[in-house]
Amino acid sequence: MPWVDAHLEKHGGVLFRGFQIASAPALDRMIGAIAGEPLSYRERSSPRTQVSGNVYTSTEHPPDQAIFLHNENSYQHAWPRRVFFCCVTPADAGGQTPIADTRRVLAKIDPAIVRRFSDRQVLYVRNFSAGLGLSWQVVFQTDDRAAVETYCRTAGIQCVWRDDNRLKTLQVRPAVAKHPRTGEQVWFNHAAFFHVTTLPPAIREALLSQMPEADLPNNTYYGDGRPIEAGVMDELRGAYAEATRLFPWEAGDLLVLDNMLMAHGREPFSGSRTVLVGLAAPMAWADVAS
Task: Give the number of other Cβ atoms within 10 Å of residue 41's Cβ.
Answer: 20
Residue 234 lies inside a defined structural domain of this protein: yes
Per-residue pLDDT tens over the stretch 159-177: 999 999 999 999 999 999 9
- Report residue 101: phi and psi, to 5°: -70, 120
Residue 224 lies inside a defined structural domain of this protein: yes
Q: How many domains does the chain have?
A: 2
The overall pTM is greater than 0.85: yes
Residue 243 lies inside a defined structural domain of this protein: no
184 exposure class (CB count in 10 Å sphere: 0-12, 13-18, 19+) = middle
- Looking at residue 227, what DSSP letter applies? P
Work out the average pLDDT over 64-85: 97
Residue 290 has pLDDT above 70, yes or no: no
Residue 265 CA: distances (Å) to CA of 110, 225, 226 = 23, 27, 27
Per-residue pLDDT tens over the stretch 271-281: 999 999 999 99
Confidence of residue 250 (pLDDT cuts 50, 70, 90): very high
Task: Give residue 133's pLDDT.
Answer: 84
234 shares a domain with 194: yes
210 shares a domain with 130: yes
Task: Give residue 168's pLDDT.
Answer: 98
Residue 145 has pLDDT above 90, yes or no: yes
Q: Which domain holds residue 123?
A: 104-238
Report whether 236 contacts 137 (CB < 8 A).
Answer: no
Residue 29 lies inside a defined structural domain of this protein: yes
Task: Give residue 129's pLDDT.
Answer: 87
Residue 207 sits in a domain of what CATH number? 3.60.130.10
Average pLDDT, the chain: 95
257 shares a domain with 231: no
DSSP labels for 98-157? -EEEHHHHHHTS-HHHHHHHHHH-EEEEEEEBTTBS--HHHHHT-S-HHHHHHHHHHHT-
Work out the average pLDDT over 230-249: 98
Report whether 268 contacts 62 (CB < 8 A).
Answer: no
Task: Give residue 289's pLDDT.
Answer: 63
258 shares a domain with 192: no
Residues of the chain above pLDDT 70, percent? 99
204 shares a domain with 132: yes
214 shares a domain with 110: yes
Residue 207 lies inside a defined structural domain of this protein: yes
Task: Give the number of other Cβ atoms within 10 Å of residue 119's Cβ.
Answer: 11
257 shares a domain with 198: no
Distance CA 18, CA 182 (A): 29
148 shares a domain with 46: no
